[in-house]
Amino acid sequence: MDDLNTTPSRIRGTALSADGTAIAYERQGDGPPVILVSGALATAATEAPLAALLAHRFGVFTYDRRGRGASGDTAPYAVEREIEDLAAVVGEAGGTASVHGMASGGALVLEAAAAGLPITQLSVYEPPFLTDPAGRRASAALRARLDGLLAADRRTDALELFLADAVPPETLAQLKGSPLWGELESLAHTLTYDHAVLGDALVPTTRLREVTARVMVVDGGASPGWQRETVRVICEALPRGRHRTLTGQTHQVAPHVLAPVLEDYFAA
């Protein structure tokens, strides 16, 4: 049995991506490597609580995606560069790794696996694709508005637009008055990166058939119906997909609920 009273080792480092961009990462623990990939407006620090819960059994890597935190942001942006960033972290992990992606980070992980990265097994939580083609036009319009606001350096307006459908108005008002808002503004330009990862916003069913690794696709039982339908479609498109629902959870999944599910899956 693992000794939960032993403090896992912790190291910080920098992985050099193929285009020379420095990608800052942290590893907790000394077991088999697991890499956590964050979603929109998130950094390695966002994934730290989940990493801490897994570190007694795995060597857990968290990293600042391109343009975030301590990582570089070489222009021009391309999804292929983000895949190379992840490949660099996999290299630091020893050449192969299990990977978990949250939200748009899950979309990135799926594309990376389809592109042939040496991912032994992967898990994703509610990648925000759409299943209804009618929603593609609205998604494209939102992306265009965000790009315009960010090009004009109107970060506050861009954040308000992005978060409008995600949080109630009163919560958004509180968020704007908190110290966290400044941190979000520093990440706002990466919203266009996450939209690029999602492509035309629809579930890329043809591309998903190229993922040969086994994949656990997770959703929250209290998440909106469209997100749960997306997870179902993703799982059905994957050759080795497995669906798991976490009762009572939403898109903001609790780390202490997700951690044991990931531990059992990655240890199998």
Query: What value does the mean pLDDT take over residues 208-218?
Result: 98
pLDDT digits (tens, 9 = 90+) for 51-103: 999 999 999 999 999 999 999 999 999 999 999 999 999 999 999 999 999 99
- What is residue 99's three-state secondary structure? strand
- 13: its two tokens: 């480092």
In three-state form (DSSP H/G/I as H, E/B as E, the rest C), the secondary structure along 151-186 is HCCCHHHHHHHHHCCCCCHHHHHHHHCCCHHHHHHH
With a CB cutoff of 8 Å and minimum separation 6, the contacts of 70 are 24, 64
pLDDT of residue 167: 86
Give the residue-averaged pLDDT of 201-230: 97
pLDDT of residue 5: 52
Summarised one tens digit per residue, pLDDT across range 109-153 is 999 999 999 999 999 999 999 999 988 888 899 999 999 999 999
Hey, what are 58's tokens?
């795995």
Rounded Cα distance between 75 and 90, Å, is 22
Neighbour-count burial for 163-178, b at 16+ CB within 10 Å, e otherwise: beeeeeeeebeeeeee
Helices (DSSP H) in 97-249: which residue ranges?
A: 104-114, 134-151, 155-163, 169-176, 180-187, 191-198, 205-208, 225-237
Residue 166 is predicted with a pLDDT of 84
pLDDT of residue 268: 87
**pLDDT at residue 168, as a whole number:** 87
Per-residue pLDDT tens digits for 9-42: 899 999 999 999 999 999 999 999 999 999 999 9
Q: Say what the pLDDT of residue 105 is.
A: 98
pLDDT value at position 6?
65
Per DSSP, the chain holds a count of helices (H) and strands (E) of 11, 8
Q: What pLDDT is attached to residue 188?
A: 97
Does an H or E element contain 88, and which? helix 79-92
Contact residues for 208 (Cβ-Cβ < 8 A; gap 6+): 110, 114, 234, 237, 238
Q: Tell whether the model's pLDDT for residue 165 goes beyond 90.
A: no
Tell me what the pLDDT averaged over the chain comes to: 95
The single-letter code of the amino acid at 144 is A
Mean pLDDT over residues 225-240, rounded? 97
Assess contact for 90 and 117: CB atoms under 8 A.
yes
pLDDT of residue 84: 98
Q: Residue 1 pLDDT more than 80?
A: no
| 223-to-68, 166, 243, 253 alpha-carbon distances in Å | 27, 12, 15, 10
Which tokens is 268 given?
């199998």
pTM for the full predicted model: 0.95
- Domains contained in the chain, CATH given: 10-131+203-267 (3.40.50.1820), 134-194 (no CATH)
Q: Report the half-sphere exposure of 14 (CA within 13 A, side-chain side).
A: 10
pLDDT of 3 higher than 60: no
The helix (H) or strand (E) run that includes residue 49 is helix 48-54
